[in-house]
């Protein structure tokens, strides 16, 4: 179903359609306005870490093009903008002095959104930890959780009056496992003990952050954004099905468990508990405070097989072959059905509040054609398929309140640098010219149908 009006008719009139970005991926100006380096500045500038040694120094130059980009969001027809706040702009050393110029930038962002009638969904942490905190161990240190709590208080005291919603973290799975176990994201660690420390202290920081937000801005709905994995067994064998459950506990349960159940999965504790930091009294109570909402970031399923080799660490799995016939340009399998089964499974396992799809999108690297257009039909098809799944979930009673496309524009794609493009808007990194793609025009036609009041769900 690719007709935007037909698809729009399947959603309630108050459904939120938005676009999403993240600070390090678009802002640039890494040495301006009092900002100091993040772990991603250091990681990007080390040889062999990021494709082409690309870095975030300029990115999409959003810091200098804020008004133009806010106009672009308005032109996209969406009602909401999900963005992240750069901790190194606000408290450049992670602790200590507060940088007024950094807060001023986000003042302008929020005021600009409000002037254009755009709702604001802020994320406090989208991976750009102040580099200075790495001296104390970064996320492997308990002290970082308390530094985050203070940062959350500072941000909400200044900006909370204009926020429509706030998330503590974006995809802690990435900053924990990719950053500390697999080594492909900053800070580039490959160590299970480090990863387990980062896991617990990130979860603790979330809980302390929720306390801070509610203390300062009790009326702002607070949530957490998780890239939950749709873990699918590569075969029907008993071994592979058991491996799938272990993988679920490791990739999902390590965050969903403490946040929504107040406990870590038993299988995780049995296998790795002796390598975790001390879980102090009160930690799990703080982590498991009731949330107002949660966000799902979904792109592709995770297919697994059991790994029977002696050196295999928990969860002892290896990738299974794709089933879908098509992949995106970043090599990710397209399988929209897994998005639905994942949401159903998560609501079956956990007592979850209402939700948003806070990221969903596809990497295709088409450029601007001779006619000045970007024909990215495969991305349009991807959106249509996954939005149809979202409409199914709404019709079946799941409390899905909104959808944010990833991303507003092409940007710094972490370890892939600028070679992978997820945007609805094409960015020429030489000139910084923005060109709305075919998919962006289609999404605009969809979003412009909202909000309206003629077909509320029962």
pLDDT digits (tens, 9 = 90+) for 351-387: 999 999 999 999 999 999 999 999 999 999 999 999 9
Residue 109 has pLDDT above 70, yes or no: yes
Tell me yes or no: is domain 4-447 CATH 3.20.20.80.
Answer: yes
Q: Which residues pair with 17 in a beta bridge?
A: 403
Percentages helix, strand, coil for the chain, rounded to the nearest 5?
45, 15, 45
Residues 162-171 have a mean pLDDT of: 98
Question: Residue 2: pLDDT band by 50, 70, 90 thresholds?
Answer: confident
Angstrom distance (rounded) from CA 440 to CA 409: 9
Q: Please check whether residue 312 is in contact with residue 402, taking contact to mean a CB–CB distance below 8 angstroms.
A: no
pLDDT at 451: 87
The pTM is what?
0.98
The catalytic residues are: 359
State the average pLDDT for the chain.
97
Residues 6+ apart with CB under 8 A from 94: 87, 88, 129, 130, 132, 133, 144, 147, 151
Residues 121-133 have a mean pLDDT of: 98
Q: What is the pLDDT of residues 55-82, one digit of tens each?
A: 999 999 999 999 999 999 999 999 999 9
Residues 439-447 have a mean pLDDT of: 98
Phi-psi region of 432 (alpha: psi -120 to 50; beta: other; left: phi over 0): left
Q: Please check whether residue 84 is in contact with residue 23, taking contact to mean a CB–CB distance below 8 angstroms.
A: yes
Residues 315-343 have a mean pLDDT of: 97
Angstrom distance (rounded) from CA 196 to CA 217: 31
Distances (CA, A) of 211 to 157, 170, 202, 217, 288: 13, 17, 14, 10, 11
Domain ranges of the chain: 4-447
Residue 155 has pLDDT above 60, yes or no: yes
pLDDT at 455: 44
pLDDT at 66: 98
pLDDT at 452: 75
Residue 456 has pLDDT above 90, yes or no: no
pLDDT at 453: 56
Considering only CA atoms, give the Rg of the chain.
21
């Amino acid at each position: 179903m690719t007709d935007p009006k037909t698809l729009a008719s399947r959603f309630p009139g108050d459904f939120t359609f938005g676009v999403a970005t993240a600070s390090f991926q678009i802002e640039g100006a890494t040495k301006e306005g009092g900002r100091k380096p993040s772990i991603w500045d250091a990681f990007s500038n080390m040889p062999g870490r990021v494709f082409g040694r690309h870095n975030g120094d300029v990115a999409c130059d959003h810091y200098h093009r804020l008004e133009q980009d806010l106009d672009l969001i308005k032109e996209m027809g969406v009602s909401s903008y999900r963005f992240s706040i750069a901790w190194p702009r606000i408290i450049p050393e992670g602790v200590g002095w507060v940088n007024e110029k950094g807060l001023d930038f986000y003042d302008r962002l929020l005021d600009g959104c409000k002037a254009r009638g755009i709702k604001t969904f802020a994320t406090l942490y989208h991976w750009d930890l102040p580099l200075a905190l790495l001296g104390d161990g970064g996320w492997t240190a308990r002290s970082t959780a308390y530094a985050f709590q203070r940062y959350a208080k500072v941000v909400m005291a200044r900006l909370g009056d204009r926020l429509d919603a706030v998330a503590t973290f974006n995809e802690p799975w990435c900053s924990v496992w990719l950053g500390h176990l697999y080594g492909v994201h900053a800070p580039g660690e490959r160590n299970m003990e480090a990863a387990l420390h980062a896991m617990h202290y990130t979860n603790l920081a979330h809980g302390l952050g929720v306390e801070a937000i509610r203390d300062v801005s009790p009326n702002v709905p607070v949530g957490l954004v998780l890239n939950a994995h749709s873990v699918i067994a590569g075969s029907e064998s008993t071994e592979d099905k058991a491996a799938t459950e272990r993988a679920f506990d490791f990739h999902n349960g390590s965050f969903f468990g403490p946040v929504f159940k107040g406990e870590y999965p038993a299988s995780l504790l049995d296998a790795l508990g002796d390598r975790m930091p001390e879980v102090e009294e009160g930690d799990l109570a703080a982590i498991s405070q009731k949330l107002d909402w949660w966000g799902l970031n979904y792109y592709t399923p995770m297919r697994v097989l059991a790994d029977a080799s002696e050196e295999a660490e928990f969860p002892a799995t290896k990738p299974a072959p794709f089933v879908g016939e098509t992949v995106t340009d970043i090599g990710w399998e397209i399988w929209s059905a897994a998005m639905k089964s994942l949401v159903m499974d998560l609501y079956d396992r956990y007592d979850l509040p209402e939700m948003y799809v806070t990221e969903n999108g596809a990497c295709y690297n088409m450029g601007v054609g001779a006619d000045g257009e970007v024909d990215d039909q495969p991305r349009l098809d991807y959106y249509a398929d996954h939005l149809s799944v979202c409409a199914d979930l709404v019709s079946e009673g799941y409390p899905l309140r909104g959808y944010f496309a990833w991303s507003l524009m092409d940007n710094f794609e972490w370890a892939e640098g600028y070679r992978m493009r997820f945007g609805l808007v094409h960015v020429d990194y030489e000139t910084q010219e923005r060109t709305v793609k075919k998919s962006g025009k289609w999404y605009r036609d969809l979003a412009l149908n909202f909000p309206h009041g003629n077909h509320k769900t029962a």
